[in-house]
Amino acid sequence: MKTPFFISLFLLAFEGFSQKITSITLNESTRGFRREITITPNEYTLDENSITLKKKLSAEDWHELMKICAVIKLKELPKFKSASRKSAKDAALQATIEVVIGEKKYQTPIFDHNNPPKELVPLVNKLRNL
C-alpha cells in the first residue's frame, strides 16, 4: 500500500524538477572554432561558427535529459573539476555546460570537450547525440 504513495511522490518531485529547467547549453570552442548546443523543452539548436540548425525536440528526449540531470547535483556545477587541461594548449576544445533553472544559471568551469568531469559524461553524450 505504501509503494504507490512513494511512486506518486517520486513522479511529482521529478515532474516539478523537470519543469524548472528552462535550458541546457554545451559550449565548445577554440581559437578558430565555436560550437554551441542549446536545448529547451521544445527545441534543439546547434550553432557552429554562426551556422545555425534548429529542430523540434521530442518530449521523450527532454524527459531523458531530465532523468540524467536529476542524478547530477546541478548547484554543484561550478565546483566540478576538469579531468585534464589539454584545452589550455589548444590540444582540445574548451567546453562548459550551463543549466538555467528559472532565473538562476549554473555553469561548469572550463573542461576539455573530449574529457568532461565524470559527473557530466552522460549529459555531454546525450547532448551530442541528439
- Cβ count within 10 A of residue 71: 9
Residue 18 has pLDDT above 50, yes or no: no
Q: Is the pLDDT of residue 65 over 90?
A: yes
Q: Per-residue pLDDT for 96 more than 80? A: yes
pLDDT at 15 over 80: no
Nearest Cα neighbor of 121 from 101, 97, 103 is: 97
The grid cell for 104 is: 538562476
pLDDT in tens, 85-95: 766 666 678 99
Mean pLDDT across the chain, nearest whole number?
Answer: 84
* pLDDT tens, residue by residue, 99-128: 999 889 999 999 988 889 999 999 999 999
Q: Which helix (H) or strand (E) holds 43?
A: strand 43-48
Q: What's the confidence (pLDDT) of residue 113?
A: 84
The pair phi, psi for residue 109, each rounded to 5°, is -70, 170
What is the rounded CA–CA span in Å between residue 121 and residue 117? 7
Which of 52, 59, 64 shows the shortest CA–CA distance to 129? Answer: 64
- Structural domains present in the chain: 2-129 (3.30.1560)
- Percent with pLDDT over 90 in the chain: 62
